Structure 1
Amino acid sequence: MIREKFPWYERRIAAGLVGDGSECYGFDDEISRDHDWGPGFCIWLGKKDYETIGQALQREYDRLPGLFEGYERSTVYEHRVGVFEVGDFYAGFIGISQSPQTLEEWLYLPEDALSKCTNGSVFTDFPGVFSKIRNDLLGFYPEDVRLAKIASRCMTAAQSGQYNYMRSIHRNECFAAQYAETKFCYDVLSLVFLLNKRYAPYYKWRHRAVVGLPILGGFIHGRISALMDTRTSQEKTKIMEEISSAVIEEFRREGLSGLSSDFLLDHGPVIHDQITDDRLRKRDVWLC
């Protein structure tokens, strides 16, 4: 279709499948097929080309066959597939239309948003503009930002799991205890993704995705599964301590912290102090 109707632009187009949706992570299953499911892909154009042929190309995309290899194209609730301008596509996820230029810009880019715009696959990219931004983002946070986020996760995971969970149990505060357990898991998963220099997807896929990470991935996936399965607060506390110990041991292995403490919160300031940027190092260790 592109060769027949837009021949001058054939080598000016990038195409792939990136963004929202389980299909972009390879996590599709039977449950996924109730909405936003079916054959589809993204086409990315530079700004000038998008202004010239964007609408026309979208109309032709919409006219593509409704059946592909036996699967029907679905009506997508959100604009997840079709034709996009490169800068607008990235801005829709991270709020900026180019690669971050400063530590401050990097600091405020959420992990799950970065995960969404760097997942999936690029099938072809002759101009290379889309892939240039993608590769910059896949290079991961600058090391100072990574250290700041690791330190912050140490503080919040320790506060919720190693400190407040059992205190909430003793006070019979069931909601607080449940939240503390969930918060601990969420932040530990984020921490493990940061150790692997990979962006954590949003909560729905975070536990499922961690199993594929080489550093602590399988261990954390298994221990969090066990934490969810057990019913006693004593056993839950034991598992949270096992998880914390494994993370701390990884800190020692990587030279991030040499403390002997088994409390994650003690390691946060030590890791935060390794930040080389003066301005970032002066930020509150809890707030990244």
Structure 2
Amino acid sequence: ANHKFLTVEGWKRLDALSPNEHLALPRYVAQPERSGQASLHTHEANTNRDVIPRSVWQALVVPAMKRAGLTTRQMQARLGHQYCGAALYQTNLSRDRARRVAAVVGAGLLARLAESDLYWDQIVSIEPDGVEDVFDLTVPGPHNFVANDIVVHNSIEQDADVVMFIYRPERYGITVDEHGNSTEGLAEIIIGKQRNGPIGTVNLAFVHQFARFENLTTYYAPSGPAAGGAAGGAAGGAAGGAAGGAAGSGGGDYGAAGYGDASGGFADDGYDDGPAPF
């Protein structure tokens, strides 16, 4: 199963995870009879292990600093720290420090992480464990659930007949494809699941001014031997015509000097041949 797991950067599929990333685990799982009273805030955080991963500096803190117009030096001064440059970004955050940093830079999501019931456990390795049947569950509302002590994504796919995604490279700042062609106005409809039909990708054109999708028409420039032959023929014809014109212009009076053509002209036979043929 390629289910989604919660990371500091958001939900990620299993195939997008890598060692050294952190997954969200519940800090405390209440007993069933106490589930309505479950609260993790009564458990004091252990700053040796119960920390927020350092990746939040780049994911949450730096963007908040830019919005607030703060430099790294100003941010550290407001925290009461001696300036240490970017070295601060290499450290994990205790929950207390995360609260203070969030207040200084105005990072609301970091403040919520500091108060959350999540424990961030580092991935040591990801190894295949064979193939077996699994369950795809949906719980009511916008909730998540815990499986094997890991917070996993609430699923809706088993309730849907078709699952589709819209992908526009421009939306993510991708301006050219792998072949160097422009991606302007391109879109993909990705059919990820379908109970009664095929899956795959459909290429469409996106019309910005109307926010509308249309059929994509692709034009290809000619290439290969056929195109080369056509180009050569056109060039040869143009060259032949130019040569004929040059010979004709050098002939002067039609009756005396003959008509110019690509072969160099022909002799006057003494008869009136009428108007020039070209």
Give the alignment's TM-score, normalised by structure 1: 0.18
Q: Which has the higher strand share?
A: 2
Q: Which has the higher helix share?
A: 1
**Highest relative contact order (Cα 8 Å, sep 6+), 1 or 2?**
1
